[in-house]
Structure 1
Amino acid sequence: MTGKEKILSKMKEKVGLGSSDPDSGKGKSKMMKHVTHGFHLVKGKSNHAMEDYIVAQFKQVDDNELGLFAIFDGHLSHEVPDYLRSHLFENILKEPDFWKEPEKAIRRAYRITDTNILEEAIDMGKGGSTAVTAILINCRKLVVANVGDSRAVICKNGVAKQLSVDHEPSMEREMIENKGGFVSNFPGDVPRVDGQLAVARAFGDKSLKMHLSSEPHVEVDMIDDDTEFVILASDGLWKVMSNQEAVDSIKHIKDARSAAKHLTEEALNRKSTDDISCIVVRFQ
């Protein structure tokens, strides 16, 4: 990078446009300058291309500000998580009742988006994607939704609280079997839907959709003076770190992007081989 490029990069960071590195970046709220976000992605050791995609931005909508944060962890596909990155928040915000009933709007938008993906399955292939989304409304209200095992964790007074649900096949065996599917540890060493997929809820996966759900778990949390930060990450992180370990490892790192990078590096140190993507939103 030339001297001029370095100066330009630093200027971009100052105004919250992030760096020139697409796998790392940061930004901040215009409504409350102390609310910041940072992200970092690392490709795993598999032979396929990177299948994690993220959204991390603040967006003005009329007189409101929305923080839009998401991690989409693809499997057998980069088309589905890429589609989600481009369309899921757009579909959520198009819902007419979003401002009055955001939970209801998010559930409906998740269903609509999954239907659209399945209708375009010929172009997108047979794969799918998990998702965890977090919408921060005017820096006061946080609405988290997820399907699959990408996870959202909030830290208040140093204590980790999980806001999402890991949709594991063993936990949803009854639902899967009622739909005519089965859960098996063979082949492999973890429970899988029809012996294939290690999550019970996902976008896409047309060949398994009869036995899968795309209905999200939705949870609302209010941001108060005790709220320190939120972590969103793919299972490449959570396979090797507990919620509290993740919180403890970054509680003294004030820069959100440095915190996200630290978490990915710690996951690598703990021998995670999966794609790892991480977003940190700091409130203090």
Structure 2
Amino acid sequence: MIKETFRNVDAHIMQRAKEVVEQSPAGASAALQALEPVLSGSCALVTAYDVRSGLLYTAVTGDSRAVLGKWSQDGTHEAVALSKDQTGFNEDEVKRLNEAHPGEEKDMINPRSGRLFGMAITRAFGDHRWKYTLDFLHRLKADFFDVGPRPNYKTPPYMTAEPEVTVQKVQTGDFVVLASDGLWDHMSNEDAVECVSQWLAVKRSGKTPVVAEEKNVRLTVDKEGYGTWEATKENFSIEDMDNAAVCLIKNAFGGNRRDLFKGVISQQAPRSRYVRDDVTVQVIFTKDPYETK
């Protein structure tokens, strides 16, 4: 049902825009408005918990990610991936695309960047230039001010909004981190779970530690040539005891490297695009964080 719902929502968006265009003269405002929802795209990440079975269902389209912090008797939490990013670095996605578009393997995905015809993800809602037919994209360019198809575009659709769905048993004491790639660009599954685990321990102790600021900051260079950094527990700053998600974001963007954090968070468009990606984070607890036992 989850997969069908995702597919139906995307099909409705794409088909409605196409029908309005087909009934409209060139440049018509109604067609341009109908096209707005499909010109760009969106990822989706959904979890649903079945209270009777204790099962957590996770559905993902795109590169947002869900990670379970699985509680153990020794009081620690183990990171368990609930989803896998759908990009050109995902071998299952590469195989799916190659099987669906034989003979186009060299044209579709750039092995260095993992991009599908320039796009960082392989599944999404919208993103019409990875779904509409070649002829229709040419018409949009000629009559409705579109930019036209991607180079080497032959046998669409290349993208789908259908999610991958996983099922995981959860227990009291577990927690789930749901986040967009703005977090995961800088923080591993394990470090995200460790950060929330430390936040829980501090919250229950009632004693917020003093932060020792780190001034010796070094950036690395990513696959596309931009400066980047990794958030690891050595630079954690466990603060913001009213909100674990805020704590995660602040640590992903610098932690105790205060100058780095202030620089990253303060950038405005257009520079911000090259500094940080959009970041949305939710942390869901199966046990009240205020409980001390």
Counterpart code for 2:283: V
Give the length in aligned residue pairs.
Answer: 176
Q: Does 1:274 pair with 2:282?
A: no
Q: Does 1:176 pair with 2:97?
A: yes
2:51 & 2:182 partners in 1: Cα distance?
A: 30
**For residues 240 and 265 of structure 1, do their structure 2 counterparts lie closer, same or farther at Cα, with a shift above 3 Å needed?**
same
Counterpart code for 2:81: Q
CA drift of 1:179 comes to: 3.9
CA drift of 1:108 comes to: 0.8
**What residue number does 2:30 align with?**
none
Q: Does 1:146 pair with 2:149?
A: no
Task: Name which one, 1 or 2, has greater alpha-carbon Rg.
Answer: 2
**What residue number does 2:81 align with?**
162
**What residue number does 1:239 align with?**
185
Q: Report the structure, 1 or 2, having the larger strand content.
A: 1
Gaps of 5+ in 1: 1-104
Q: 2:166 aligns with which of 207, 215, 219?
A: 219
Is 2:64–2:180's contact at 8 Å kept on the other side of the alignment? Answer: yes
CA drift of 1:257 comes to: 5.6
Runs of 4+ in 1 over 6 A off after TM superposition: none
Counterpart code for 1:165: K
Q: 1:198 aligns with which of 120, 123, 145?
A: 120
Counterpart code for 1:175: R
**What residue number does 1:40 align with?**
none
Instruction: Give the TM-score normalised by structure 1.
Output: 0.57
CA drift of 1:138 comes to: 3.1
| Cα deviation digits, residues 122-151 of structure 1 (max 9, x gap) | 131411111110112338331110011100
1:156 & 1:184 partners in 2: Cα distance?
A: 35
**What residue number does 2:244 align with?**
259
1:224 & 1:247 partners in 2: Cα distance?
A: 16
Q: Does 1:132 pair with 2:45?
A: yes
Is 1:173–1:183's contact at 8 Å kept on the other side of the alignment? Answer: no
CA drift of 1:174 comes to: 3.5
**What residue number does 1:39 align with?**
none
The alignment partner of 2:253 has SS state of helix
**What residue number does 1:36 align with?**
none
The alignment partner of 1:253 has SS state of helix
1:113 & 1:176 partners in 2: Cα distance?
A: 22
Is 1:142–1:220's contact at 8 Å kept on the other side of the alignment? Answer: yes
**What residue number does 2:3 align with?**
107
**What residue number does 2:270 align with?**
none
Instruction: Give the TM-score normalised by structure 2.
Output: 0.55
2:39 & 2:78 partners in 1: Cα distance?
A: 40
| Cα deviation digits, residues 169-203 of structure 1 (max 9, x gap) | 242233324444533439xx612112x21111111
CA RMSD of aligned residues (A): 2.3
Is 2:38–2:126's contact at 8 Å kept on the other side of the alignment? Answer: no
The alignment partner of 1:276 has SS state of coil
**For residues 207 and 257 of structure 1, do their structure 2 counterparts lie closer, same or farther at Cα, with a shift above 3 Å needed?**
farther
| Cα deviation digits, residues 8-28 of structure 1 (max 9, x gap) | xxxxxxxxxxxxxxxxxxxxx
**For residues 141 and 177 of structure 1, do their structure 2 counterparts lie closer, same or farther at Cα, with a shift above 3 Å needed?**
closer
**For residues 273 and 118 of structure 1, do their structure 2 counterparts lie closer, same or farther at Cα, with a shift above 3 Å needed?**
same
Of the two structures, which has the highest relative contact order with CA contacts closer than 8 Å and spacing of 6 or more?
Answer: 1
The alignment partner of 1:221 has SS state of strand
